Structure 1
Amino acid sequence: MTDLHFECTGARPEPFGASPTLLFGLRIEESDHQPVHAIALRCQIRIEPVRRQYEPEEVGMLGDLFGEPSRWSSTLKPMQFAHSSITVPGFTGTTDIDLPVPCTYDTEVASASYFRALSRGEIPLLFLFSGTVFTGRNGFRAEPIPWHKESSYLMPVDVWQQMIEEYFPNSGWLRLRKDCLESLRRYRSQRALSSWEQVFQELLATAGAKGGD
């Protein structure tokens, strides 16, 4: 059985992607130095929130995901970040590749909401590998990648922040139910507000005034 070892070596934003994408550096080593003809590699990436400490301002932004801090001992469960697949070219010994991972800024997605809440530090990730390796010194055979193959990586929060700033400079977006969006459009039209920022600023100001009564 071909013995592969995987290590995540870094992360950076894809500068020319059509949509937000992170490139994770992967180092793959075949321990017996058997020739690898190719790998059809699949990767599942999970966030492990229990593996980091949280600043007070971060705690306040994570209530929608994990509830009250008093419950975090039972609610800080691993969450799905992404799936990615890539074909790794042939090599002998060790090879380095970039694994492209499409990302979303949709705050209704738990991973994006989690990333958005973090201000500094690192994001604990776990890479779970599967797929098929094509190998053989005197022939050609296909072998499955065992399910226990994995790699941990602490991604700096500022890598995520840099990617979002590159694709959505000084901006963001919200996904709304259609009837809610139509109500906001009517509100904007009736008050002749020139931008969506004005709509939300006015609504927030009104809510603030009511909250102070």
Structure 2
Amino acid sequence: MSVANASPSLRIQVRGVEPAEPAAAPTLRFLLRIDASTRAPIRALTLATQIRIDAPARAYDESDRQRLKELFGEPGDWGRTLSSLLWTQTVTHVPPFTGGTSAPITVACTYDFDVAATKYLHALQGGEVPLRFLFTGTVFYDDGGLLRAGHLPWDTEAGFLMPVEVWKELMDRHFPRTAWIRLERETFDRLYAHRVRHTMLGWDDTVRSLLDTNEG
């Protein structure tokens, strides 16, 4: 195998998104269309993908702005603080093809509210999430009977508008009517002691009692 400075040009588009089935944990599958500039056989493609939420690329109503204050600060400062967010990074191995092919990118999702992307997606009430897919990787291709390898150009990328409802329905499927927060053990012990002391049946009752007391 020899190494070439330039590989066949690849055009990559994101055509859709769907829940991955079956999946024990919440997972989305983004559907790619990959087209090569040559009919030479592509022997393999190792595709590294960084997915970013292009937050400045959509509009926000007042409710969105209030719910996103933890991420971006006061709405009056958004001209300075509103920026893109890293969602995830993946590596996909695409099998041989000639001309063009379809391939999925699988993205594991989390409901961990310590993750900025989760806070952002949870805060939105509707509309679409502007995503940027930034691709790097190595393409192995046939060149006159020789196997060559080349790298994808640094500016290989694609945009995609993901409906917010896709993510919310996925979370509802795996965590129906619930959300998750992580507590320090000392805080949990105090919360548990409060629950036992007041003979409360569940964690919702425990937290509601504290909220009601504070709001009262």
**TM-score (norm: length of structure 2):** 0.94
Which stretch shows the higher mean deviation, 100-109 or 12-21? 12-21
The 4+ residue runs of structure 1 with deviation greater than 4 A are none
Which stretch shows the higher mean deviation, 140-149 or 115-124? 140-149
Find the aligned partners of 2:40 and 2:11 in 1 and give their Cα distance.
13
Residue 80 (structure 1) aligns with: 86
Residue 171 (str. 1) matches residue 178 (str. 2)? yes
Out of 6, 13, 26, the position equivalent to 1:7 is 13
CA offsets, 1:99-135, max 9 Å, x none? 1011111011000000000011000000000111111
Residue 151 (str. 1) matches residue 158 (str. 2)? yes
- RMSD after superposition: 0.9
Which stretch shows the higher mean deviation, 141-150 or 116-125? 141-150
Residue 188 (structure 1) aligns with: 195
Residue 53 (structure 1) aligns with: 59
Find the aligned partners of 2:170 and 2:121 in 1 and give their Cα distance.
12
Residue 64 (str. 1) matches residue 70 (str. 2)? yes
Structure 1 contact 13–162 (Cα < 8 Å) conserved: no
Unaligned residue ranges in structure 1 (runs of 5+): none
SS in 2 for 1:27: strand
Residue 135 (str. 1) matches residue 126 (str. 2)? no
Identity over the aligned pairs, expressed in percent? 38
| Aligned-partner residue type, residue 205 of structure 1 | D
Find the aligned partners of 2:31 and 2:96 in 1 and give their Cα distance.
17
CA offsets, 1:66-95, max 9 Å, x none? 000000011111110001111101111111
| Aligned-partner residue type, residue 110 of structure 1 | A
CA offsets, 1:29-48, max 9 Å, x none? 10122210111111000011
Equivalent pairs, count: 209
Residue 100 (str. 1) matches residue 70 (str. 2)? no
Find the aligned partners of 2:198 and 2:158 in 1 and give their Cα distance.
54
SS in 2 for 1:104: coil
Find the aligned partners of 2:100 and 2:203 in 1 and give their Cα distance.
52
Structure 1 contact 129–145 (Cα < 8 Å) conserved: yes
